[in-house]
Amino acid sequence: MRGIKSFEAIFTLLVVVSFSLLILNQPLPGINDSLYRLQLAHDVWRVWQLRGDLDGFDKNAMNRDADAMTALTGTCIYLEEEDVASCLGGERIIALPQKAWVNGEVKNLTVVLAKQ
């Protein structure tokens, strides 16, 4: 009688451990960081707006700010239509189209974040 109860206990333990390992070994879904990337691109645009770089479209100031933001974020930052860039980027992370009022006209610009 005692041997049967020990056998039942061992069998139950093996079943529980097997199911636990099966559940724990399931692949975890990847982290969706698309909202973070979108917010970062908006933040880059807002920095250029708040610092007044877009008012006279000062490319030197925009490049300095892009360099500073690249140092903080580790991503390349550039405007697709202009020669404003912090570094030559690799794979694109996100592209954010924006409109800016530059020298009395509306200009379509795209803020791009890319891997370094």
C-alpha 93: how far from chain center? 7
Q: Residue 3 domain-assigned? A: no
Q: Residue 18 domain-assigned? A: no
Can you give the residue range of the structural domain that contains 73? 34-115
Q: Residue 68 domain-assigned? A: yes
Q: Residue 76 domain-assigned? A: yes
Q: Residue 20 domain-assigned? A: no
Q: Residue 7 domain-assigned? A: no
pLDDT values of the chain reduced to their tens digit, one per residue, 116 residues = 566 777 787 878 778 777 777 777 777 778 888 899 999 999 999 998 888 877 777 888 889 999 999 999 889 999 888 888 898 778 899 999 999 887 788 889 999 999 98
Q: Residue 2 domain-assigned? A: no
Contact 106, 100 (CB under 8 A): yes
Q: What is the tally of structural domains in the chain? A: 1
